[in-house]
Amino acid sequence: MKPSEAKRIDGKAFAAGLRLRVEEAVRDLAVVKGVKPGLATILLGDDPASQVYVRSKGRVAAEAGMSSFDHRLPANTTQAELLEIIERLNADDSVHGILVQLPLPRHIDTSRILIAIDPTKDVDGFHPLNVGRLSSIAPGAPLDFSVPCTPLGVSMLLEDALGSLAGRNAVVVGRSNLVGRPVAQLLLRADCTVSIGHSRTRDLADLCRRADILVVAIGRPEFVRGDWIKPGAAVIDVGINRVPGAEGKTRLVGDVAFAEALPAAGWITPVPGGVGPMTVACLMFNTLQAARRTAGLPFLPL
């Protein structure tokens, strides 16, 4: 690394450490309470990317010593059939976490499905009850409920790299319910001053230049340029975009122009190897927490 380059935040290494921590806690839970965490995944259709993602979740769960229950359903599964499966999983004491792979086919009402999941088993953090708890959480209050996995991973990486986030100006580019808004709420909990930028923001580049912490999650390859970044800022790139590469192949890039940002930022996540590995690791962490609650144990601290 050149002296003028940003420190690279190694999400892959942090995620590996988190998974080891989860694995140890799973063993302890079995010894102390005789409980083995169980994660149920539901996938409708045969989208290749979703299949790979769900397979990865099952493999990591098994490596952590958890039970994994996979439900692969045809794309034409009716909403009533899906709700029936969720109802069975809600009542199954061996299942502590339920994950429905999104997006769902158009004939399924996603909000109806998310509401149907027992909020104590909602390891994705998408149930309205958990969303509401995050939106109203007090600064510094414990996270004793499920938080969306990618935003939780972003929060963990920032606090590991920077220590206390209190008083820092944070800008989140992207306002989705899955990433942008929960990231902003977690940063508010950490006593940051938070702004959210989006497609209608006037002079978005100027807003980004004020950020001590810049989190970008908009799904537009290399949208944020190097001259948008305040010198020394921490840049978290949530984007994963596949673009044309050399010799007819493709390559992965983030929402930030990494090569341009590297000399300007103080810290930066690469793509791949930054936020991506944290999502599955945090899913395992959330499943463990749900199992601990079932066993009458407090949530582990982050």
How many whole angstroms separate alpha carbon 81 and alpha carbon 66?
A: 26
How many whole angstroms separate alpha carbon 268 and alpha carbon 231?
A: 12
Token pair 């999104």 is found at 102
46 is catalytic: no
Q: Yes or no: say if 156 and 14 are a contact pair by the CB < 8 Å rule.
A: yes
Token pair 């190897």 is found at 273
- With 0-12 CB in 10 A as exposed, 13-18 as middle and 19+ as buried, what is 217? buried
Q: Yes or no: say if 40 and 287 are a contact pair by the CB < 8 Å rule.
A: no
289 is catalytic: no
Specify which residues 100 forms β-bridges with.
Answer: 42
Residues 6+ apart with CB under 8 A from 293: 120, 299
Catalytic residue among 101, 118, 230, 237: 101
Q: Which helix (H) or strand (E) holds 253?
A: strand 250-253
101 is catalytic: yes
User: What is the separation, in whole angstroms, between the first and last Cα of the chain?
Assistant: 30
Catalytic residue among 10, 118, 124, 212: 124
How many whole angstroms separate alpha carbon 6 and alpha carbon 235?
A: 9
Determine how many CB atoms are found less than 10 A away from the CB of residue 302: 14
Active site residues: 57, 101, 124
